[in-house]
Amino acid sequence: MDSSSNLPQPAFDSSVVIPAEEKTEAKGKMTIGEILSKAFEIYKKNPIIIVPSLIPMVALILGLMILFASFIGMAALIGAGGFLAFFAIAGLFLFIIILIILFFMAAGLTIEMIREALAGNKADLNIAWETSKPKMKPLILTSIQAGILTALGYVLFIIPGLILSVIFYFMAQAVMIDGKSGTLALKTSYAFVKYNLGDSLTIILIAVAISFVLPMIPYLGFLLSLLAIPYLYAIATLLYIDRSVSLPPKTETKVDIS
């Protein structure tokens, strides 16, 4: 007979507070190589994720054609003059704003489709749009905020702009994945880069290298650069999702053990 059975057993509370650090340590991390490979696998199985990136390009071509036709039409109608110049400048300015917004929205849609694919689902443009639609306004406003700050940083001797470009690199992921917006999204991106500095810089440098090398390829450079856009979003998004669990928690997590 085991004498230990006569010993008093300690009371066990089914509600135990486990430090979040212990919870996150139990979750493994992908290496950079695995992230690059996984991103390629997702892209290969879900080539539809290229579609959002094509939308701004198509809008660019159609917009330039419409602007040119409108300018010729107005010139024939009213002739050269101050109003024609105003019309051209105002039309170009509006076109640029619309184009920038489309680029932001394309980034959000691509990130959402990548997240769905990573979860084992088939990437679907309609589902991604319905899911990400409420986040589009925060994404656009946050992107504009980050763009203004980064542009000001480049004006100030370039170095601050480079630093802000790195700090805000995962801003879109913070909005689309974590639901942050505005300054909070920028702070989230900063915190992510701070606590995953080596991996973040590696992914950013890989993205910069790809963006720099592909356009230099004769004849196919533009096409390859366009096709690479979803892959660049994928490696950043995969790193963000995989490494976000290692961010230092501010509070303890309460786990119920049944």
Instruction: Summarize pLDDT for 236-252 with one digit per residue, the tens.
Output: 999 999 988 544 444 44
CA distance 254 to 18: 6
Note the pLDDT tens digit of each residue in 129-141.
999 999 999 999 9
The token duo for 126 is 């309609």
Q: Give the largest Cα separation in the chain, rounded.
A: 108
For the chain, how many structural domains are there in total? 1
The most confident of 83-92, 121-130, 248-257, by mean pLDDT: 121-130
Domain residues for the domain of 151 are 47-246
Q: What pTM did the predictor assign?
A: 0.79
Lowest-pLDDT range of 17-31, 76-90, 136-150: 17-31
Domain presence at residue 170: yes
In a domain, 212, yes or no: yes
Residue 24 lies in a domain: no
